[in-house]
């Protein structure tokens, strides 16, 4: 985070957090699921007792209610540019739960027929999937009090190919107009630790607009972020130009699970959402400012000189 952003004290989790190490390497998916259930039950009890700091959010696909403590954003505003509806939630939501800032999210590829294979019969066409994913994005961003901009582009489908440079030019101009409407906001975008053309395109558009702050992209498929060949290609593309920084999200990690539960069309069944949390545990091994169990990774580049 930037130096000017104060760190707000956040509620300490009342649930013992599971650790995916030792014996937990085998039991972590279920351990996390149970811990999140207990966390949700505690917040639900507060909600029933008229604690107005606790919000009820309903997962659009599963239609299951969850509960999350409201945040109070402070500091410099942030304009996050995400390729798809779930990218901010997967990669950066823990940071903004732990250190809330005024947030606007611009989602570029909002037309899609991408859902988990088990749900393809239920959500069979672009209009149905796009409407569901829009509702999922709305629900996931509610705890952040975030404004939204939807650009309306169709996402890439496998087999993936390089993005069209003309589409990059068009999207860059569309995002430029959004940035002009948010003067003073700090830009945040995907680092494109991935071969997915939508992520590569959005990263390049953000760089053209002067973005110097990027999240490590996370998702579940082999073409995203966490496989060794993608990490190698990322290092080859960026060299030493991107400086990693870590944010401790330990106190917010169960609330991040709640945010992920809003994206049930992508992460199915619910227990599969342990994967980005497992990665956050691995990431936290590099923390130098404390013994946090879970962290998110970002990258910084030098401020533009022109």
Burial code (b: 16+ CB inside 10 Å, e: under 16) for 106-116 equals bbbbbbbbbbb
Q: Which residue has the tokens 């990263």?
A: 203
What CA–CA distance (Å, rounded) separates 149 from 79? 10
pLDDT tens-digit map of 95-139:
999 999 999 999 999 999 999 888 999 999 999 999 999 999 999
Dihedral Cα 279, 283, 289, 294, nearest 10 deg: 10
Choose among 156, 148, 154, 139: nearest CA to 195: 156
Note the pLDDT tens digit of each residue in 172-182. 999 999 999 99
Q: What is the pLDDT of residues 244-299, one digit of tens each?
A: 999 999 999 999 999 999 999 998 888 878 889 998 998 999 887 778 999 999 99
pTM for this prediction? 0.91
Dist. CA 297–CA 133, nearest whole Å: 25
């Amino acid at each position: 985070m930037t130096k000017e952003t104060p760190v707000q004290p956040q509620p300490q989790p009342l649930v013992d957090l599971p650790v995916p190490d030792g014996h937990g390497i085998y039991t972590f998916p279920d351990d996390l699921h149970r811990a999140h259930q207990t966390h949700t039950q505690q917040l639900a009890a507060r909600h029933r007792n008229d604690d107005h700091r606790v919000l009820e959010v309903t997962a659009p696909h599963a239609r299951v209610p969850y509960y999350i403590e409201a945040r109070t954003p402070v500091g410099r505003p942030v304009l996050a540019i995400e390729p798809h509806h779930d990218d901010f939630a997967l990669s950066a939501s823990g940071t903004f739960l732990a250190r809330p800032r005024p947030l606007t999210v611009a989602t570029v590829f909002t037309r899609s027929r991408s859902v988990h294979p088990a749900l393809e019969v239920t959500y069979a066409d672009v209009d149905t999937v796009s409407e569901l994913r829009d509702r999922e994005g709305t629900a996931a961003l509610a705890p952040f009090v975030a404004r939204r901009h939807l650009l309306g582009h169709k996402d890439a489908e496998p087999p993936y190919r390089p993005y069209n440079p003309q589409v990059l030019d068009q999207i860059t101009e569309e995002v430029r107009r959004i940035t002009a409407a948010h003067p003073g906001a700090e830009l945040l975008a995907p680092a494109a630790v991935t071969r997915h053309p939508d992520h590569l395109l959005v990263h390049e558009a953000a760089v053209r607009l002067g973005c110097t702050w990027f999240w490590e992209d996370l998702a579940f498929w082999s073409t995203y972020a966490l496989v060794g060949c993608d990490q190698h290609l990322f290092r080859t593309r960026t060299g030493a130009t991107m400086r990693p920084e870590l944010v401790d999200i330990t106190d917010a990690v169960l609330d991040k699970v709640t945010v992920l539960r809003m994206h049930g069309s992508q992460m199915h069944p619910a227990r599969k959402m342990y994967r980005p949390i497992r990665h956050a545990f691995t990431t936290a091994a590099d923390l130098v400012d404390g013994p946090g169990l879970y962290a998110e990774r970002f990258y910084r580049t030098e401020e533009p000189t022109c």
